[in-house]
Amino acid sequence: MNQNPVQLIRPRRFGDERGWFVESWNRDRFAAIGIRCEFVQDNHSMSATPGTLRGLHFQRPPHAQDKLVRCLRGRIFDVAVDLRKGSPTYGKWVGATLTAEGGEQLFVPAGFAHGFVTLEPGTEVAYKTSAVYAPECDAGIRWDDPDIGVGWPLPAEGPILSGKDRTQPALAGFDSPFGYDGRPLQPLGEALVP
């Protein structure tokens, strides 16, 4: 069982001359690699232009969200930042490229901020969440916070941002509502769903 709280996952694809089939979510199979949650909402975004950056977002308790993210068309660089108070990896990040072609997924548990930048035109991203969207719990951290230092692969002209993402607060002074569960963030290793 993987003890890393953030996991890069590659579900098995079954292919033949027609194409392929994949189970993108199977509760029992994901539980076998340590992911145990009940998803209650699916989200789907399309970003027309490469360099569109969405993040770094999270929901506060009591509506904190686990997320299972995948790219349906194009490619993204997907990031998770540890926001768990008392964690030895607080403010550290991990990231991975997710592609429609490869089928990779990133599991981001509650207690982590999440964001991605698109790498191709017309990129589509879908993700499952373990809590419904609750505007009163919606929160974020600056995408370019120097205390976090995410290595975003950005175009020369910089990212395309929403108004909300231009004005997110810095990590310094953030009073995290998330507790540390004893599992420090580790570099991403790939897990194949059994």
Tell me the sheet residues that pair with 20: 15
Alpha carbon separation from 80 to 62, 69, 140 (Å, rounded): 20, 11, 12
pLDDT number for residue 13: 86
CATH of the domain at 174: 2.60.120.10
Amino acid 27: pLDDT: 93
Tell whether 192 is covered by a domain. Answer: no
Does a cis peptide bond (omega within 30 degrees of 0) precede residue 159? no
Question: 3-class DSSP state for residue 165?
Answer: helix
Identify whether 119 is part of a domain: yes
Q: By residue range, what is the domain housing residue 17?
A: 7-179
pLDDT digits (tens, 9 = 90+) for 93-125: 999 999 999 999 999 999 999 999 999 999 999
Classified as helix, coil or strand, 29 is helix
pTM to 2 decimal places: 0.94
What total of structural domains would you count in the chain? 1
Q: Is residue 193 part of a domain?
A: no
Residues of the chain below pLDDT 50: 1
Q: Is residue 156 part of a domain?
A: yes
Residue 16: inside a domain: yes
Which residues are known catalytic residues?
57, 127
Q: Is 174 helix (H, G, I), strand (E, B) or coil?
A: coil
